[in-house]
Amino acid sequence: MKTIVSALLFCFFLFPGLVTAQNDYQNERNRMVDRQIANRGISDEATLEAMRTVKRHLFVPAPRISQAYDDSPLPIGYGQTISQPYIVALMTELVEPRPGMRVLEIGTGSGYQAAVLAEIVDTVYTIEIVEQLGMTAAGVLEESGYSNVLVKLADGYHGWEEYAPFDAIVVTAAAEHIPPPLIQQLAPGGKMIIPVGSPYFTQNLMLVEKDGDSVRSRNILPVRFVPFTRAGQ
Ligand code: SAH
């Protein structure tokens, strides 16, 4: 017995990678939710549970795995970033995702925000303009079992008419104005969260609510997002 224990210990020191490869980072995720998210006032149970469940380390580039649960955004290539966990949780909570809902996301990026939403709602439709990012995200989402996420490679400015209206829309790139097609594709009673402002400065995270024909919006908080780019520009 003693020999087995020392052999295991020996293996751990020799090949820590082998042992940590089996780590699914649940402790890191719980700590992230407690310290960075619940502690800052996010209280929606569905959102907190989804943030505890989605394996964020699978959505960051391999060399960044050790930083996956840090309190910050991270580069994912092509000049883009995966948002800070708190911002993902805040945007999720603000659109009030619930089972049965259909949600549109603009800016798939790593696929992480789509996975968080997919833990809660029925179907997530997500659009990415950078082909390589969209393809990689679609692969990770599929391997992780998120069969309720559909990824499209396109300019998200036009939304996804075919599946509209959406109960919620989450835009994860900073737009200079709210694209009118997105307002159109929001269901009555639906909510959209979108960073609005110049790509070179701080933007405002805005919550847009559609009530029948009237649209109300309010500023939530200053944020910095990567720019909303347009196809062919
Ligand atoms: N939600 C992502 C964050 C990605 S950053 C995540 O969880 O990782 C924003 C993404 O929006 C980038 O990948 C960028 O390429 C994409 N993007 C920018 N403009 C876009 C547009 N017009 N249509 C679709 N995606 C766009």
148-168 b/e with 16+ CB inside 10 Å = b? bbbbeeebbbebbeeebbbbb
Q: Is residue 229 part of a domain?
A: no
Check if 83 is active-site.
yes
- Cβ of 125 closer than 6 Å to ligand 1, yes or no, is no
Name which residue sits closest to atom 11 of ligand 1, judged by CA: 107
Q: Is the pLDDT of residue 159 over 90?
A: yes
Residue 119 Cβ < 6 Å to ligand 1: no
**14 or 179, which is more confident?**
179
Regarding the beta carbon of 97 and ligand 1, being less than 6 Å apart is answered: no
The enclosing domain of 154 has a CATH number of 3.40.50.150
Q: Which residue has the tokens 């998120």?
A: 146
Cβ of 136 less than 6 Å from ligand 1: no
- Residue 58 pLDDT: 98
- Is 75 inside a domain boundary? yes
Per the domain annotation, does 107 fall within a domain? yes
Query: What's the whole-number mean pLDDT along residues 214-224?
Result: 96
pLDDT value of position 23: 80
Contacts 24+ apart (CB under 8 A), 188-195: 188/212, 190/165, 190/166, 191/94, 191/95, 191/96, 192/95, 192/168, 193/91, 193/94, 193/95, 193/168, 193/169, 193/220, 194/169, 194/170, 195/171, 195/223, 195/225
26-60 burial string, b = 16+ CB within 10 Å, else e? eebbeebbeebbbeeebebebbbebbbebebbbbb
- Domain holding 135, by residue range, is 2-223
Structural domain includes residue 232: no
Q: What is the mean pLDDT of the chain?
A: 93
- Could you give the percent of the chain with pLDDT greater than 90? 87
In the predicted structure, residue 154 carries a pLDDT above the cut 90:
yes
Token pair, residue 18, equals: 């082998």
Q: Looking at residue 17, what is its pLDDT?
A: 47
- 200 pLDDT band, cuts 50/70/90, is confident
Residue 151 pLDDT grade (very low, low, confident, very high; cuts 50, 70, 90): very high
How many folded domains does the chain comprise? 1
Give the model's pLDDT for residue 31: 98
In a domain, 231, yes or no: no
**Residue 224 confidence (pLDDT) above 70:** yes
Report if residue 111 sits inside a domain: yes
Q: Who wins on pLDDT, 2 or 154?
A: 154
Domain membership of residue 233 (yes or no) is no
pLDDT at position 3 is 55
Please choose from 90, 108, 170 the residue to mutate so as to test ligand 1's pocket, defined by most ligand atoms within 8 A of CB: 108
Question: 84: which 2 tokens?
Answer: 């800070």
Long-range contacts, stretch 33-40, CB < 8 angstroms, 24+ apart: 33/89, 35/71, 36/71, 36/85, 36/86, 37/85, 37/86, 37/89, 40/86
pLDDT digits (tens, 9 = 90+) for 2-60: 555 555 445 455 454 444 556 899 999 999 999 999 999 999 999 999 999 999 999 99
Q: Could you tell me the pLDDT band of residue 213, with boundaries at 50, 70 and 90?
A: confident
79: Cβ–Cβ under 8 A, 6 or more apart, which residues? Answer: 226
Banded model confidence at residue 166, pLDDT cuts 50, 70, 90: very high
Instruction: Say whether pLDDT at 101 is over 70.
Output: yes
C-alpha of residue 225 to centroid of ligand 1, in Å:
9
Is any atom of ligand 1 closer than 6 Å to the C-beta of 85? no
Of the pLDDT bands very low, low, confident and very high (cuts 50, 70, 90), residue 212 is confident
Average the pLDDT over each of 96-105, 142-151, 196-205, 224-233 and give the range with the smallest value. 224-233
Within 8 A by CB and 6+ apart from 30, the residues are: 52
Task: Identify whether the C-beta of residue 130 lies closer than 8 Å to the C-beta of residue 155.
Answer: no
Q: What are phi and psi of 200, to 5 degrees?
A: -95, -5
In a domain, 228, yes or no: no
What's the average model confidence in pLDDT over 52-70?
98
